[in-house]
C-alpha cells in the first residue's frame, strides 16, 4: 500500500536540547486523581496540577534551535510572538445536573478542585488576567468534562448543549479578539447533533466541536454517527477528541493502581484507541476531508506510527482501509501539546506528523499557563516553525 504523500517535518538536532530543571516532576499529584473503584469517576477534570517543563538538571547547557538561531528566544521576540491556545476549558454552573455529583466524587484535594472550579466558571476577570500575564493572545474555549456526554436522556442533552453553546457565544462576542469556541454536541441524538453543529458554526461562529470520548460506551466509528462526520466535512471544521472523566468500562490491568486510570495513562490509552477505531473503521475513507485533534502530543500515537504500519500487513484483507495508519495520522489528525511540556516529545511529534499539524495548547486551568508558555518559547525551533506551532497552524486550521 503506497503512502507517499509528502508532509512537512523538521529534522531534530543531532543532540536533543535541554532545559533547566525546576526541582519537581510533572503532574506531581497525579496519584490523587483516581477514584476508589469500578465505574466511579476517575482522575481530575482534565490534566492535573501545573506541568513542569524541566527535563535536565540545573546548570545544563541552553537549548539550541534547529538551524542554530537563538534570536527567537530573546525577551523582545518572546513578547511579540502571537500565541493561540486551543484546548482551554470553561464551565457553565448548573448546565448539567450530574456535574456537581461527579465533581464531589473526584479524588482530588479540595483546595485544587476549588481553584479549578473558580477558574472554570470565570470567563473574564481571572482568565483574561492569566492570558495577559503570560502573553496568550487567544484561547479556543471548550466545555469542561464532565460534558453533556454524561447525560442519559437525549432531549436533556440537546437542551444542555444549546444552553452551553449560547453561553459560550456570548463570551466570545464580548471578547472576539481573545476568545474563540468549540461547540458542545448532543451525540446521544446524532441527527440533533448535526443540527446543533450547523447552528454553532454558521450562526454562532464556532471553529469546530469538542467531544469527550464516548456516550455511554458508544464510539464515533459506529454507523449512527456518520451524519455528524458528513456535516463536519461539509462545514470544513475539526472535531477535538478529548478524554472522558467517566470511563466507559473498567480495565483489570488498572486494578489496585488507580494512578493509572486517569490523566497519567488511562486517558491516553482510551482516547488513542478511539482515534485508531476511527482510522481502522474507515471513517476517513468515507469522509476524507474530516479531521480530529488529539491532545497530549496526539495521545502518543505519533510515536507508535512505525509499529502501526509494520503490523498492518497482518490485518485481514476484508478489514483493511485504503492507506497505512500513518497516512491518516499525517492527513486527518492534528496534534496539540496540551499537558505534555517536553521538548523531546515535541520534537518527536513534529518529526512524525509534520510541523504544520502540531498546535499549541495549555489545558487551562488544569495546567499552568506560565509553564506552558515557557515550554513553547524555549522550544528548539527556528522562528518560522515556532510561529506555526504557536499560532499559525491554529489560525489556518480553525480559520481564526
Q: What is the pLDDT of residue 318?
A: 84
Alpha-carbon distance 300 to 214, whole Å? 19
Whole-number Cα distances in Å, 359 to 7, 120, 393: 16, 22, 6
How much is the pLDDT for 19?
A: 40
Helix (H, G, I), strand (E, B) or coil at 118: helix
Give me the long-range contacts of 59-62 (CB less than 8 A, separation at least 24): 59/20, 60/18, 60/19, 60/20, 60/21, 61/18, 62/17, 62/18
Per-residue confidence (pLDDT) for residue 266, from 0 to 100: 86
pLDDT of residue 59: 31
Continuous segment of H or E residues that includes residue 284: helix 283-286
Catalytic: 363?
yes
Q: Give the per-residue pLDDT at 41.
A: 31
Residue stretches of the chain with pLDDT short of 50? 1-78
Neighbouring residues of 132: CB distance < 8 A, sequence distance ≥ 6:
none
Q: How far apart are CA 307 and CA 325, in angstroms?
A: 10
- Closest alpha carbon to 331 in 288, 364, 389: 288
The active-site residue out of 213, 221, 363, 385 is 363
CB 184 within 8 A of CB 144: no
- Those residues whose C-beta lies under 8 Å from the C-beta of residue 273, and which sit 6 or more positions away, are none
CA distances from 205 to 199, 240, 344, 364 (A): 9, 16, 36, 22
Task: Summarize pLDDT for 361-370 with one digit per residue, the tens.
Answer: 999 999 999 9
**Axis-axis angle for helices 369-377, 125-134 (nearest 10):** 30
Which single residue is written with the C-alpha cell 493509572? 260
d(CA 381, CA 370): 19
Within 10 Å of residue 107's Cβ, how many Cβ atoms? 18
Amino acid at each position: 500500500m503506497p503512502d507517499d504523500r509528502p508532509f512537512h517535518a523538521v529534522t531534530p538536532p543531532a543532540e536533543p536540547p535541554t532545559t533547566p530543571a525546576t526541582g519537581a516532576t510533572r503532574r506531581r499529584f497525579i496519584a490523587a486523581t483516581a477514584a476508589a473503584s469500578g465505574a466511579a469517576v476517575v482522575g481530575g477534570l482534565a490534566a492535573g496540577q501545573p506541568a513542569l517543563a524541566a527535563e535536565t538538571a540545573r546548570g545544563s547547557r541552553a537549548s539550541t534551535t534547529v538551524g542554530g538561531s537563538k534570536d527567537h528566544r530573546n525577551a523582545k521576540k518572546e513578547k511579540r510572538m502571537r500565541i493561540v491556545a486551543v484546548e482551554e476549558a470553561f464551565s457553565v454552573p448548573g448546565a448539567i445536573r450530574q456535574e456537581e455529583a461527579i465533581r464531589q466524587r473526584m479524588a482530588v484535594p479540595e483546595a485544587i478542585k476549588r481553584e479549578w472550579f473558580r477558574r472554570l466558571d470565570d470567563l473574564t476577570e481571572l482568565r483574561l488576567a492569566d492570558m495577559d500575564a503570560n502573553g496568550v493572545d487567544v484561547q479556543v474555549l471548550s466545555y469542561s468534562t464532565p460534558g453533556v456526554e454524561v447525560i442519559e436522556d437525549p432531549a436533556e442533552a440537546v437542551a444542555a448543549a444549546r444552553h452551553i453553546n449560547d453561553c459560550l457565544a456570548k463570551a466570545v462576542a464580548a471578547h472576539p479578539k481573545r476568545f474563540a469556541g468549540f461547540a458542545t454536541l448532543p451525540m446521544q441524538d446524532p441527527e440533533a447533533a448535526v443540527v446543533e453543529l450547523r447552528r454553532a458554526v454558521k450562526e454562532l461562529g464556532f471553529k469546530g466541536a469538542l467531544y469527550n470520548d464516548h456516550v455511554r460506551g458508544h464510539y464515533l466509528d459506529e454507523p449512527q454517527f456518520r451524519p455528524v462526520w458528513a456535516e463536519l466535512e461539509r462545514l470544513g471544521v475539526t472535531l477535538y477528541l478529548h478524554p472522558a472523566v467517566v470511563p466507559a468500562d473498567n480495565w483489570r490491568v488498572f486494578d489496585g493502581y488507580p494512578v493509572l486510570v486517569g490523566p497519567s495513562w488511562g486517558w491516553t490509552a482510551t482516547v488513542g484507541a478511539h482515534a485508531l477505531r476511527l482510522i481502522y473503521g474507515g471513517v476517513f475513507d468515507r469522509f476524507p476531508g474530516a479531521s480530529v485533534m488529539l491532545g497530549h502530543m496526539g495521545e502518543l500515537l505519533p510515536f507508535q506510527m512505525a509499529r502501526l504500519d509494520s503490523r498492518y500487513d497482518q490485518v485481514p484483507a476484508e478489514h483493511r482501509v485504503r492507506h497505512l495508519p500513518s497516512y491518516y495520522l499525517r492527513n486527518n489528525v492534528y496534534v496539540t501539546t496540551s499537558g505534555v511540556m517536553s521538548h523531546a516529545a515535541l520534537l518527536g511529534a513534529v518529526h512524525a506528523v509534520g510541523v504544520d499539524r502540531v498546535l499549541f495548547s495549555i489545558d487551562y486551568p488544569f495546567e499552568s499557563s506560565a509553564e506552558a508558555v515557557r515550554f513553547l518559547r524555549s522550544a528548539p525551533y527556528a522562528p518560522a516553525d515556532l510561529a506555526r506551532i504557536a499560532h499559525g497552524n491554529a489560525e489556518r486550521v480553525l480559520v481564526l
